[in-house]
Amino acid sequence: MSTPEKVRVDKYLWSIRVFKTRSQAADACDGGKVKMNGSSVKAAKPVNIGDKFEIRSEARKWVIEVTGLLSNRVAYSEAIKYYLDTTPDEDKLAPAFVPSVFQTGKRQSKIGRPTKKDRRSIEGFMEGDGEE
């Protein structure tokens, strides 16, 4: 594979599989979630070997250094040859924020809301209690 002369930031981040789509990479650049050598960068800026990126995605934080230019998306085993991941261990291992079940509006199975059978038995209990 020949080495391209110029590669855009969004295309590079997409090709090394930091982002799933190129539009997500461009949106991250526009949203200030991608920093090149310490300053925010636009999606169209060209990437050079030796540039350092700090990337905040939904899944994790990345700190990478460019070791080669790649313009087409390739397999992960090939893509990791084009950058050096210098992310601190605490950022690699930090789990994403997991909301509790009650905050999302979903309920655990058989916990919380009564079933139809439970509702009928509760209503029968309440009716028998109120007529005395």
Q: List, for residues 7-59, the tens digit of each pLDDT value.
A: 999 999 999 999 999 999 999 999 999 999 889 999 999 999 999 999 987 77
| Residue 29 confidence (pLDDT) | 92
Query: CB atoms < 10 A from the CB of 67, how many?
Result: 13
* pTM recorded for the entire structure: 0.66
What is the C-alpha separation between 93 and 97, in angstroms, rounded? 12
Query: CB atoms < 10 A from the CB of 3, how many?
Result: 11
| Residue 45 confidence (pLDDT) | 93
What are the structure tokens assigned to 65, written together? 């250094």
Which residue shows structure tokens 């210098």? 86
| Residue 106 confidence (pLDDT) | 60
Q: Is the pLDDT of residue 129 over 70?
A: no
Report the mean per-residue pLDDT for the chain: 82
Specify the 3-state DSSP secondary structure of 27.
Answer: helix
**Total count of residues recorded for the chain:** 132
